[in-house]
């Protein structure tokens, strides 16, 4: 085995490892998005049931927390689901930004094959302070 073969093999293994990380990150984003969607559905259903119930926000609903069901007032249940929704959104956004970094690392390992098509992918929107 010569040196160029070993170098090529090492480079291919690094590219494959980076691609596996990207695929697992994408799958994690999909899983988090499914959880976020089911959380939204539960929140909408809870708000609809609170409107139609005679006791309104003080009516109780059952929440499954792990293997335990707990009866909580709708206002508390709604608050918990909204907090979970915020957590899901921040986690998904964090995963998406990590995915961009991983894509750039993969592009660098492939020696810039797609550098022209990924040129503007690391842009971020302006803040309110920057606009004014």
- Hey, where are the domains in the chain? 32-114
Mean pLDDT over 14-25 rounds to 94
pLDDT in tens, 99-125: 989 988 888 888 765 655 555 666 777
pLDDT in tens, 65-97: 889 999 988 889 999 999 999 999 999 999 999
Q: How many CA atoms lie within 13 A of 51 on its CB side?
A: 6
Mean pLDDT over 15-21 rounds to 93
CATH classification number, 32-114, choose in 1.10.260, 1.10.287, 1.10.3720, 1.10.3470: 1.10.287
pTM over 0.85: no
């Amino acid at each position: 085995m010569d040196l160029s073969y070993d170098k090529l093999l090492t480079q291919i293994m690094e590219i494959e490892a980076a691609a596996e990380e990207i695929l697992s990150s994408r799958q994690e984003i999909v899983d988090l998005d499914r959880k976020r969607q089911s959380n939204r559905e539960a929140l909408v259903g809870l708000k609809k049931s609170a409107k139609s119930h005679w006791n309104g926000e003080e009516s109780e609903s059952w929440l499954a927390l792990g293997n335990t069901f707990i009866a909580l007032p709708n206002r508390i249940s709604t608050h918990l689901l909204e907090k979970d929704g915020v957590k899901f959104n921040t986690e998904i956004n964090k995963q998406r930004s990590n995915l961009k970094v991983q894509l750039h690392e993969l592009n660098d390992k492939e020696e810039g094959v797609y550098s022209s098509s990924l040129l503007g992918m690391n842009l971020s929107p302006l803040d309110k302070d920057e606009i004014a």
